[in-house]
Amino acid sequence: MQGLSHANIVNIIGYGSDGSVKKPSGREIKNLVYILLEYVTGGLLFDLCQTLGGMGEDDGRFFLSQMCDALEYIQAKGVVHRDLKLENILVDDLMNLKIADFGFATYKKINKLNSYRGTMTYMAPEIKEGKTYDGKQIDMFSTGVILFIIVQGIFPFKEAKKDEYFYNLILKGQLDTYWSKVGGQNLTAEFKDLILKMFSYDGSKRPTVSELRSHPWMQKPIDMKKSRQSILERLHEIRSAKTADSSRESAHSRGDPMLELVRDCSVSGLERFRFND
């Protein structure tokens, strides 16, 4: 990560091997390796998706355009991530994505990899089958899973295996059944075309970042400022509603015994509640 610096990546501020920690007992541990990372306010993309649910295609384009910027940058640097998922992407207070956790990333022979890396539900089929794989292609597969969740609010399948029910429907071309099962009947034909290309069993048939940008679905006009504001407003509305519900529940949970503490009382009567300080 040392050589990476981009607006959509959690950047390294510094690192070293001369760190030290002093324990409460007074004992000091020296020569610790440390990494200082950029601080990102906001939280995980996973939490955002969990709060808002399916955000729809416009918001999908908003976030995918940022993913494209990040992927284009790291690939130009000869790096692949290999563990892209909602839990490894942060969002700041302005809904800017920040890809984190490059623990499985590599820059060596990225088009001929064979290590078993990634997270089950985001992992491309060629990794599961122990095949040699292209790092760019497996990152594209994981990005497809992320996009699907942002748009629909659910995972597209449990894992990309031939014997997994939902992924098998895609492989067999039973697409009407698949879209019905995942509640995607009303998704546009352009989105369906793009996402199925990203989920291709054959990695070479998945789009490159350049092809992703030029796809008809991504070519639809999007007002980034308006989309950002819309997401922020919905998030604020949901959080405010949850806070209000929590306050009401807290008030009700006090019950009748707490009412003993709330009563009419004259000023002189308050003297008996005075603290002895």
User: Which DSSP string corresponds to 23-63?
Assistant: -TTS-EEEEEEEEEE----S-BHHHHHHHH----HHHHHHH
pLDDT at site 33: 93
- Is a pLDDT exceeding 50 seen at residue 275? no
pLDDT tens-digit map of 48-77: 999 999 999 999 999 999 999 999 999 999
Higher pLDDT, 182 or 247: 182
Cα(170)–Cα(176) distance, rounded to whole angstroms?
10
- Is a pLDDT exceeding 90 seen at residue 3? no
- Is a pLDDT exceeding 50 seen at residue 270? no
| CA dihedral of residues 216, 217, 220, 225 (deg, nearest 10) | -150
Catalytic position from the list 59, 83, 134, 139: 83
pLDDT at site 96: 96
What is the percent of the chain where pLDDT is above 90?
78
Let me know if 163 is a catalytic residue: no
- How high is the mean pLDDT of the chain? 90
pLDDT tens-digit map of 208-266: 999 999 999 999 988 899 999 999 999 999 988 877 766 666 656 555 555 454 445 55
pLDDT tens-digit map of 111-128: 999 999 999 999 999 999
- Residues in a beta bridge with 16: 34
- Residues in a beta bridge with 22: 28
Answer for the pair 156, 182: CB distance below 8 angstroms, yes or no.
yes
Cα 224–chain centre separation: 18
All structural domains of the chain: 45-219 (1.10.510.10)
pLDDT at site 139: 98
